Amino acid sequence: MRQKLVAGNWKMHGDSQSIRELLTALKPAVAESAAEIAVIPPLVYVPLCADLLAGSSIALGAQTVSEQRNPGAFTGEVCADMLADSGCRYTLVGHSERRSLYGENDALVAAKTEAALAANVLPIVCVGETKEQREAGATLDVVGQQIDVVLSTLNSGHDKITVAYEPVWAIGTGLTASPEQAQEVHAFIRTRLAAHSAELADTVRILYGGSVKAANAAELFAQPDIDGGLVGGASLDAEEFAAICNAIG
Ligand code: PEP
């Protein structure tokens, strides 16, 4: 049985004061949630969040990780060992904003996934098609290729990844994939995992991301292949994010 996961990607938002307020409100509000919950703050606030979350079951993640595994002359980069040392259980890899704004391609996403696993940081591998790709009928080809590169690059640790299906046209736009549209792609991703091994298809969690809100979360999370959510904008509001976390049945 896969435990559901709801992760809040704060992107480049927040300051010490607002983060204190957010986590102070969030902790009691999600205490009874059946899901595992994670927050993914800007990197500079990871230590603050680790302090504020001490003793809580809310996990911590990073928004990206270097593909470089060893310390060295890589100005601006942060390696997975540093994330682990700072209390991160998870890291996003290949978020669509990293792919489109910072030139991360499938090979780099696979290298980052490997680097995270080598440090025991659990990668949440983000995949998804653009509006143009969906309109051209290429959704499954695009998502299949994004998944296959990661699965074929890894030597081990396939069962430690989480996949986040995030249609690019739904991220931050207020447009959400319908539960049926999301389920179709999630089921397809599971067949790609099954092509690697049946056990992998059973084990790996596939999250949906793209304008998840309290109002649409329950219906999305009720789909058989949706194992939780990756939530952007709505995770900045403790009450809204708690309602999403508590929508997990
Ligand atoms: C995201 O940043 O991963 C995301 C899904 O954002 P939003 O929920 O705001 O669409």
155 Cα: distance to centroid of ligand 1 (angstroms): 30
- The reported pLDDT for the residue numbered 7 is 98
At 8, is the pLDDT very low, low, confident or very high (cuts 50, 70, 90)? Answer: very high
- The reported pLDDT for the residue numbered 11 is 98
With a pLDDT cut of 90, the percent of the chain lying above it is 98
- The reported pLDDT for the residue numbered 249 is 79
Tell me if the domain spanning 5-22+34-245 has CATH number 3.20.20.70.
yes
- The reported pLDDT for the residue numbered 99 is 97
pTM of the model: 0.97
Give yes or no for residue 114 CB within 6 A of ligand 1.
no
| Strand, helix or coil for residue 9 | strand
The H or E element spanning position 205 is: strand 205-209
Q: How confident is the model over 136-158, as a mean pLDDT? A: 97
Q: How confident is the model over 86-101, as a mean pLDDT? A: 98
At 1, is the pLDDT very low, low, confident or very high (cuts 50, 70, 90)? Answer: confident
Q: Decide if 21 is catalytic.
A: no
The Cα–Cα gap between 226 and 218 comes to 11
Which atom belonging to ligand 1 lies closest to the Cα atom of 211?
Answer: 10
- The reported pLDDT for the residue numbered 46 is 98
pLDDT tens, position by position, 26-83: 999 999 999 999 999 999 999 999 999 999 999 999 999 999 999 999 999 999 999 9
Q: How confident is the model over 94-115, as a mean pLDDT? A: 97
Mean confidence (pLDDT) of the chain: 97
Give yes or no for residue 113 CB within 6 A of ligand 1.
no
Give yes or no for residue 235 CB within 6 A of ligand 1.
no
Q: Which residue owns the Cα nearest ligand 1 atom 3?
A: 232
DSSP 48-94: HHHHHTTTSS-EEEES---S--S-SS-TT---HHHHHHTT-SEEEES
211 Cα: distance to centroid of ligand 1 (angstroms): 6
Mutate to test the pocket of ligand 1, among 166, 226, 236, 244 (most ligand atoms within 8 A of CB): 166
Q: Decide if 199 is catalytic.
A: no
219-229 b/e (C-beta count within 10 Å ≥ 16 → b): ebbebebbbbb
Q: Which of 95, 97, 186, 240 is catalytic?
A: 95
Give yes or no for residue 28 CB within 6 A of ligand 1.
no
- The reported pLDDT for the residue numbered 170 is 95
- The reported pLDDT for the residue numbered 153 is 96
